[in-house]
Amino acid sequence: MSARRTGWVWHELYGWHDTGRAAGYVLGAPGVQPFGHFESAESKTRFASLVEVSGLREELTELRPRAAAEEDLLRVHTEEHLRSMQEQSRRREGGDMGDGTSPFGWNGYEVAALAAGGTIRAVRAVLDGTVDNAYALVRPPGHHAVAERGMGFCMFANVAVAIEHARAHYGLRRFAVVDWDVHHGNGTESIFLDDPDVLTISLHQDGNFPADTGAIDERGRGDALGTVVNVPLPPGSGNGAYLAAFEQVVVPAISAFEPELILVACGFDACNADPLATMMVTSSTYRTMTEGLVALAERLCEGRLVMSHEGGYSPIYVPFCGLAVVEALSGHDTGIDDPFEPDWIGWPGQDVQPHQQAVIDSARALLDPSRAR
Amino acid sequence: MSARRTGWVWHELYGWHDTGRAAGYVLGAPGVQPFGHFESAESKTRFASLVEVSGLREELTELRPRAAAEEDLLRVHTEEHLRSMQEQSRRREGGDMGDGTSPFGWNGYEVAALAAGGTIRAVRAVLDGTVDNAYALVRPPGHHAVAERGMGFCMFANVAVAIEHARAHYGLRRFAVVDWDVHHGNGTESIFLDDPDVLTISLHQDGNFPADTGAIDERGRGDALGTVVNVPLPPGSGNGAYLAAFEQVVVPAISAFEPELILVACGFDACNADPLATMMVTSSTYRTMTEGLVALAERLCEGRLVMSHEGGYSPIYVPFCGLAVVEALSGHDTGIDDPFEPDWIGWPGQDVQPHQQAVIDSARALLDPSRAR
Amino acid sequence: MSARRTGWVWHELYGWHDTGRAAGYVLGAPGVQPFGHFESAESKTRFASLVEVSGLREELTELRPRAAAEEDLLRVHTEEHLRSMQEQSRRREGGDMGDGTSPFGWNGYEVAALAAGGTIRAVRAVLDGTVDNAYALVRPPGHHAVAERGMGFCMFANVAVAIEHARAHYGLRRFAVVDWDVHHGNGTESIFLDDPDVLTISLHQDGNFPADTGAIDERGRGDALGTVVNVPLPPGSGNGAYLAAFEQVVVPAISAFEPELILVACGFDACNADPLATMMVTSSTYRTMTEGLVALAERLCEGRLVMSHEGGYSPIYVPFCGLAVVEALSGHDTGIDDPFEPDWIGWPGQDVQPHQQAVIDSARALLDPSRAR
Amino acid sequence: MSARRTGWVWHELYGWHDTGRAAGYVLGAPGVQPFGHFESAESKTRFASLVEVSGLREELTELRPRAAAEEDLLRVHTEEHLRSMQEQSRRREGGDMGDGTSPFGWNGYEVAALAAGGTIRAVRAVLDGTVDNAYALVRPPGHHAVAERGMGFCMFANVAVAIEHARAHYGLRRFAVVDWDVHHGNGTESIFLDDPDVLTISLHQDGNFPADTGAIDERGRGDALGTVVNVPLPPGSGNGAYLAAFEQVVVPAISAFEPELILVACGFDACNADPLATMMVTSSTYRTMTEGLVALAERLCEGRLVMSHEGGYSPIYVPFCGLAVVEALSGHDTGIDDPFEPDWIGWPGQDVQPHQQAVIDSARALLDPSRAR
Ligand SMILES: [Zn+2]
Ligand SMILES: [Zn+2]
Ligand SMILES: [Zn+2]
Ligand SMILES: [Zn+2]
């Protein structure tokens, strides 16, 4: 594996985003003893910490994020949403992003603007040629946020904001987004639903969250028909299902689309240890998919590949999934082995199962080669 | 639902069992930042807390546990295991139960003896007629411990120890154990593998843990052939699969066996939010299975039913699963709703799926009516 | 030591009071990374846990608390304060007790009403003769709350509410309150400032909190002149200073006053490990002061003595201070030694120092024997 | 204030040092519910986080630490101690530094070697002229470790190791160490007790820890008489006492000694919120003392000033003390105010008290001008 210049976005402020004392995501209901929100800082801070302790950080190019400008956010979001977030962010007790399960504390707007800005920073560095590819370890996540409001622990649509920034400042036109967070990338999809120049592909657990989006027959609208690809995998899907979906749907879809930049909404909540989903992916699958995208990007778009961190609620396992991805992006091997994978990789059902392959086949059948330029 | 007298075992010392600073279950390995063990106190202390805050505790009969005597433990375990645990328990830094992933701190032996003793206490109260049935919320769990050593976070085989106590002190002969912890109840199974008078039934995720036990063709040995029943469910199994397995395997197996006492190795790690498994069970299924066992026990053995707490690693969701079970045992309705179930119960795959039903069918086919008296 | 019947109030709901994610007591300010509030559940839950694990709980009489009625609260507090707390308590995100540093979560009113109710329960049990004395381990604390609002992490004035309940329901007239929380008992003092029948004595760190109350020359008003006693000890005061203040001020003041019931606002934040004060008290001093009050109560008022838990922000040391007090109240010796005291008791300055004695002398000089009946 | 080039040492591995589940510092004793060690990562990681979030990190020169070589450690420590630490560090469960209250986990040796190495790194950068001065935020601390063993949460004597490194590699001869950690710098003192070229000054709480060192009449031995200066302040000392001790003892002692490099054993446990001491220092005093040392270093030794982090056990307040120090070192003002200081700075006793001044006077009287070159 030859080494690449890989950008790395992380900022301590991401760890200061305060999701409060919900039990998981429920606050203020009978029988609910206060605890901590699933979307806590720990999975991210521990990922960042492992990147340093492993020595990998020294092989990466540190990219300092700045807050996204209002102008950046307003390319995607409504002014009403923006002002509401700003206003609530000035309250000592903070507010909610829009759905009652997505709390944030004082100054939460600034953190979220820095998350969008971190994704922008990664995109800029890749487009400027400062680095070959980049990982933006940002928080809060973004892929559930829609134009008018936040939801699912996401305030702003980080990836979508970065895409529109690239359009406005770099003149890029065609983008492909791969979303392997276990939840449906409904926000990104909805923002580009009518946009024939942005391909959004989401691999997710069928019907997990949101309950009513992510169906296989959501394919984009009008001119953009075919630029939305959903692979709603059944619960219990593991490495085999993800690799099959990747090879049989993601790769051909992107190849046919010929994007100028590939972005990944990189959640690790399809991993085996996540409390908010029922999948069994282990780190080597994230590594393999990343390697596949690196190769694809090299073939299609001069290697331009940017990942923006989304969900992943295991403080214990996310660091190892993340390390595998950043190793694959950069081509550096830290020599640190995932200590959990040997226990989990042999579980029955890790191979692709017939009922999983059936979904993948359906998704593949819907790929529309006419969308290619 | 008419109210029953239900015994309740809990002791603050269970919360003092110290599993240290492993990341999940890995301690002392490259890249592993210290964190907390999956088997922490919180899922249990929060379950106990909800039982009080909901008002349910006032409807229960508090049973004060005492430490199991050495004599009790030695009916099931080797003296070598016992002495090793006692010796390590006297060290300030504690020791390990036997497999390198099951740490305990100073005084851990005393906690584990109280866990076995708590299960004994519940059994005694039921057999004495003090209560109709009982829930022993104990820690550490027991169902993975084998005669010669602990494993899988279990030091002593709490349920097996209680069974042998009942034999020695009450002259009972026939016992049925239902283990719905998501992991295979290998310890209980191995202890009674040759015993035709103890039926052990385990519903579990196929091959999760231990990797090499729990196959459907483990059926007991010699005279005891047919007294071991395993239902190794595929990953992604949900409410439908569990209810089908319960109705189609558990109920007929126990009915045919005609036990004098039914015990449940009650883990909640098949629940939707567990980090150590890939199932989707919600609280109402635990409630329904409990109601089924209450009815079965009333029909078969004067209502004698004892549950002993096993795994379950979601501090957030275990309390609601536990509340449902204790409500069902006691027949009291606290009026507190599980706030998560509405979000999770509609997930695709909650109904029994063909590949799940196939496993259940195979297990049912192996039930041996000749084992009945 | 002969054993007494001692009542014990504790309820799991006290641990559910949600003080959120302030850093200490500051939330929502530049540079403040979210953390946890000083007034967290842990010092109290761990005290309760030690009372059980030590075996002491089995020697106590469990008193089940009920929420204080509005009528009880309104004897002391304004209706405006009560309604404000109730209204904020219905919000999912909770509110603040009145000073911006005292947050509470959803349902916080119910917890605070249970804290006042727990103190009432303890008083009732003593006055009913069910027990000889009692400890109410309640949360949130009460001694800073004034009639019109909460402050200093206190919503309602638990001790004052219990006193007025005793007056209304039992016809008692004269009460003595000893407040050895390290902060000034401003709330209790202010509520009874004009009441000649309630003696309030506060030992506290001079000027710690509140900044502007607790001076030695606050002595009560009008007819009540002399019924307020403040001993504002200098920072660095230790066992010697507290014992001297107790013997030379508290005992003679109460003796002269001849109360019908002695109450203690029992905070443990004068202890050596507290982050919110600068004193050095160790557990044996709390034990000795308690023994002194037991004797005093036996001499003056048939042993009637009720303690209500106030501050104390060391989750590590509060349990041992608390155990010492409850051992002394009940006359039972658990045999568990405070493992910290040997390290701390020999610190230079533990003996009463001249500048500390000077304050005590001044306070003693102000005691007014004419207040006795 | 003109800006200086200030070096900054921090490494994520410092946060991985595992001090386990002691309650404070007591593990494995009756009545002790497992909790967390006082010397946890949080006060340090939050200090590092604030340095980034405040924007200050961008004004500093990041110095990447490397592990101290065995050769470095062996200049100060015995081979037996080194081998013992290495051996215990290879155990999965870790070991203890030497006194039974100083646990460390697997790989703890490597973290401690990186802490010593981080202090070396800071010294090298200053001596190389890369930076003007430097702050090494390292963990575990060092000032209690003696040649033959660790103690007081310290494995290796970080500052002493860095001094001997400077001697061996840079030929420097004369060093002054100011230790304002609230505990006596017994390790540094003992290592240089006979060394006339190292001046060690310790401001500490009299008799806090260790119990039997740090007396005012410990002054160095033989040729080195007068090169040890102890100011054992009484409990309750605040800003006034520290500033008086600094101006009246530290400044004249260093001025007279004429060191080539000034080092600070920079603990923040004399701060008002520390659980392990009884002092009342607030951040502005740390700032003022740092400014004083910057000026002193400029006057005496070309500005050469290196701070190495020692104790400080308030995760809440240490970050603000640390920020003040690093602002003062670098001459940059982040504009972030300490939100606690307004509440604490007016506490009675913050001014120097007569009994505190008496100690300072005694220490000053012992300063030996003949020690100057
Ligand atoms: Zn997700
Ligand atoms: Zn399990
Ligand atoms: Zn207080
Ligand atoms: Zn210290």
Give the chain A residue nearest B355 (alpha carbons). A355
Q: Any CB–CB contact under 8 A between B288 and chain D?
A: no
Cis peptide before A342 (omega within 30 of 0): no
A13 — contact with chain D (CB < 8 Å)? yes
Q: Nearest-CA neighbor of A216 among A206, A225, A224?
A: A206
Looking at the CA of C184, which ligand is closest? 3
Q: Give the nearest partner residue to D20 out of B20, B28, B91, using CB atoms.
A: B20
Pick out chain B residues at pLDDT < 70: 1-2, 368-373
The span from the CA of D95 to the CA of B301, in Å, is 53
Contacts of C87 (CB under 8 A, 6+ apart): C95
Average pLDDT of span A109-135: 98
Q: Give me the pLDDT at residue D373, please.
A: 46
Q: Please give, rounded to a whole number of angstroms, the shortest distance from the CA of B140 to a CA of chain D.
A: 15
For C239, the token pair is: 């066992």
Name the D residues in 170-189 with CB < 8 Å from any B CB.
none
Structure confidence by residue, pLDDT tens digits, B146-163: 999 999 999 999 999 999
Q: Quick check: C64 contacting B, CB < 8 Å?
A: yes
**D238: which chain C residues are within 8 Å (Cβ-Cβ)?**
235
A27–C15 C-beta distance less than 8 A:
no
Quick check: is B17 catalytic?
A: no
Whether residue A49 and residue D16 make contact (CB cut-off 8 A), yes or no, is yes
A245-256 burial, b at 16+ Cβ within 10 Å, e below that, comes to bbebbbbebbbb
Residue D253 burial (C-beta neighbours within 10 Å; 0-12, 13-18, 19+)? buried
Q: Does the distance separating the beta carbons of C317 and D24 come in below 8 Å?
A: yes
Q: How confident is the model at residue A373 (pLDDT cuts 50, 70, 90)?
A: very low
- For residue B16, the chain C residues in CB contact (below 8 A) are 49, 53
pLDDT in tens, C62-75: 999 999 999 999 99
Average pLDDT estimate for A20-30: 97
Return the structure tokens found at C314.
Answer: 């060391």
CA angle B166, B171, B172 (to 5 degrees): 65
Q: Does D337 touch chain C (CB under 8 A)?
A: yes
Chains that touch D (3 or more CB pairs under 8 A): A, B, C
Tell me what pLDDT residue C1 has.
47
What's the pLDDT score for residue C371?
54
The CATH H-level superfamily of A43-60+132-371 is Histone deacetylase domain (3.40.800.20)
Interface test with A, best of C12, C19, C39, C93 (most A CBs within 10 A): C93
For C227-240, what is the mean pLDDT? 98
Near ion ligand 3, which residues have CB within 5 Å?
A: C 181, 183, 267, 269, 311
Closest CA to C92 of A79, A23, B272: A23
* C29 in A contact zone (CB under 8 Å): yes
ipTM of the complex: 0.97
DSSP string, A89-108: HTSTT-EESSSSS-EE-TTH
Q: How many CB atoms lie within 10 A of CB D20?
A: 23
B16:D27 CB<8 A: no
Q: What is the 3-state secondary structure (H, E, C) of D177-216?
A: EEECCCCCCHHHHHHCCCCCCEEEEEEEECCCCCCCCCCC
Interchain contact D358–C (C-beta under 8 A): no
Q: Tell me the nearest-neighbour CA distance from A291 into chain C, angstroms.
A: 37
CATH number for region B6-18+39-371: 3.40.800.20
> What residues in D contact B20, CB-CB < 8 Å?
20-21
**Residue with token string 């046919």:** A256
- Which residues of D are less than 8 Å from B100 in CB distance? 92
User: Architecture of domain C6-27+35-371 in CATH?
Assistant: 3-Layer(aba) Sandwich (3.40)
List residues of C with catalytic annotation. Answer: 144
Nearest ligand, measured from the Cα of D185 = 4
**Sequence-distant (≥ 6) Cβ neighbours of residue B91 within 8 angstroms:** B106, D28
Q: What is the pLDDT of residue C373?
A: 46
- Structure-derived torsion over alpha carbons of residues A78, A82, A87, A93, reported in degrees to the nearest 10: 120
Chain A with chain B: Cβ pairs closer than 8 A:
143
Q: List Cα–Cα distances, A343 to B31, B96, C86, D210, in angstroms.
A: 17, 19, 51, 47
- The neighbour count for residue B119, using CB atoms within 10 Å, is 33
Mean pLDDT of A170-188: 98
Instruction: Pick the residue from chain A with its C-alpha nearest to C101.
Output: A92
- CB-based contact B13 C52, cutoff 8 Å: yes
Q: Give the separation between CA C97 and CA C154, rounded to whole angstroms.
A: 7
Tell me the shortest Cα–Cα distance from A30 to chain C, in angstroms: 9
Q: Is B62 at the interface with chain C, CB within 8 A? A: no
**Phi, psi angles (nearest 5°) of residue A110:** -65, -40
CA of C269 to the centre of ligand 3 (A): 6
CA angle B110, B116, B120 (to 5 degrees): 130
Residue whose entry in the numeric block shows the structure tokens 């986990």: D105
Dihedral, D16, D22, D28, D30 alpha carbons, nearest 10: -170
- Which residues in chain D are contacts of B36 at CB distance < 8 A? none
Determine whether the interchain pair A235/B46 forms a contact, defined as Cβ–Cβ distance below 8 Å. Answer: no
pLDDT at A3: 78
Angle at which helices A158-170 and A108-128 pack, to 10 degrees? 50
Q: What percent of chain A has pLDDT over 90?
A: 98
- How far is the C-alpha of D95 from the C-alpha of D106, rounded, in Å? 8
Nearest-CA distance A11 → chain D (Å):
8
CB distance B27–D107 less than 8 Å?
Answer: no
How many angstroms separate the CA of residue A18 from the nearest CA in chain C? 6
Distance between CA atoms of residues C244 and C235, nearest Å: 15
Cα B43 to middle of ligand 2, angstroms: 13
Q: Do C18 and A29 touch (CB under 8 A)?
A: no
- Please tell me the distance from the alpha carbon of residue C215 to that of residue C184, in angstroms, as a whole number: 9
Q: What is the DSSP string of A281-337?
A: B-HHHHHHHHHHHHHHHHHHHTT-EEEEE-----TTTHHHHHHHHHHHHHT------
Residues in C touching D340 (Cβ below 8 Å):
24, 26
Distance C178 CA to ligand 4 centre (A): 34
In this structure, is the dihedral angle defined by the CA atoms of residues C183, C188, C191 and C196, taken in order, positive or negative? negative
| CA atoms lying within 13 Å on the CB side of residue C74 | 8
| CA angle (B332 as vertex; B331, B335 as ends), nearest 5 | 135
In this prediction, residue B3 carries a pLDDT of: 78
Q: Select which of D11, D143, D144, D183 is catalytic.
A: D144
d(CA B312, ligand 1 centre) in Å: 22
The HSE-up count of residue D369 (CA atoms within 13 Å, CB side) is 2
Closest residue to A12, CB basis, from D15, D52, D64: D52
| Residue spans of chain D under pLDDT 50 | 1, 372-373
Using a CB-CB distance cutoff of 8 angstroms, which residues of chain B are in contact with residue D106? 27-29
Tell me whether B158 touches chain A (CB under 8 Å): no
Mean pLDDT for chain C?
97
Domain segments of chain C as ranges = 6-27+35-371
Q: Does domain D6-371 have CATH number 3.40.800.20?
A: yes
- For residue B99, list chain D residues with Cβ-Cβ distance below 8 A: none
Q: Which residues of B touch D20 (CB under 8 A)?
A: 20-21
Rounded to 10°, the helix D318-330/D283-301 angle is 30
Question: Residue C154 forms beta bridges with which residues?
Answer: C151
Verify cis geometry, omega within 30 degrees of 0, for the bond prior to C30. no
Closest chain B C-alpha to C43 CA, distance in angstroms: 15
Q: How far apart are CA B352 and CA D304, in angstroms?
A: 73
Geometric angle at alpha carbon A209, from A203 and A212, rounded to 5°: 95
How is residue B79 written in tokens?
């003296």
Q: Is residue A91 less than 8 Å (CB to CB) from chain C?
A: yes
What pLDDT score was predicted for residue B371? 54
* Closest partner CB to B314 (pick from A50, A232, A275): A275
* Å between C366 CA and nearest CA of chain D: 21
Using the predicted structure, report yes or no on whether residue C356 has a pLDDT greater than 80.
yes
